[in-house]
Amino acid sequence: MYALVEIKGKQYKAEKGSVLRVDRFDAEAGQSLELDKVMLVSDDKETKIGTPYVDGAKVTAKIGETIKDKKVIVFKKKRRKGYKKTQGHRQQYTMLTVEDIKL
């Protein structure tokens, strides 16, 4: 059984036991989270598609650690003007472990 879930404006495929890397949540690790924006639920027998969300469907997930992605270097330059600027950015993500999918 799997479900397509919308989390912070992005769509993820959630299966029981899978680990999702989503944008950072301001919550402590170990807390439980219920996601009710389920767009599709499918098992071996049938598939339910929402308009836009499936009524009564929920995905339960456990919040894991917060990690940082690789550093991205942003370099700006204007030729013949003496202008150079270098910046770096590291995006933060939260790991979610899917515990259960309910209809």
Q: pLDDT category, 81, cuts 50, 70, 90?
A: very high
DSSP structural state of residue 29: T
Q: What is the pLDDT of residues 21-75, one digit of tens each?
A: 999 999 999 999 999 999 999 998 999 999 999 999 999 999 999 999 999 999 9
Name the token pair of 84. 């150079």
Cβ–Cβ contacts within 10 Å for residue 38, how many? 23
The pLDDT value given to residue 103 = 85
The pLDDT value given to residue 44 = 86
Q: What is the pTM of this model?
A: 0.84
